[in-house]
Amino acid sequence: MEVVVLSEEFLGFSKAEYLSDPNKEKMLRASLRSNVEKMLDPKRIVILDSMNYIKGFRYELYCLVRSSQTTLCVVFCDTEPEVALKFC
């Protein structure tokens, strides 16, 4: 089975630049959603490695997955702020 990992970096976006401007952040989410939609397939595992703190965005992704008749799993990683900052 094919595995695809999508993230801001994979799509060529800078988190720092896009998350500081609400309009750019909206464009970023739209791009992530669009790419997830393109990749959804029952024979493919799609991992979206991104912040999903916006309930509406999570729901959009949930609806996409349900309409493609695939399975959904959400993983929450509880990381100490000092450790998380090393990845920024």
Q: DSSP alpha helices (H): ranges in the chain? A: 15-19, 22-39, 55-67, 81-85
Residue 88: the pLDDT is 65
d(C-alpha 25, C-alpha 20), whole Å = 8
For residue 74, give the 3-state DSSP assignment.
coil
pLDDT of residue 3 exceeding 90? yes
Which of the listed ranges 10-14, 18-22, 39-43 does the model predict with the highest average pLDDT?
Answer: 39-43
pTM over 0.85: no
- Which pLDDT tens digit goes with each residue over 30-79? 999 999 999 998 889 999 988 778 889 989 999 999 998 888 888 877 88
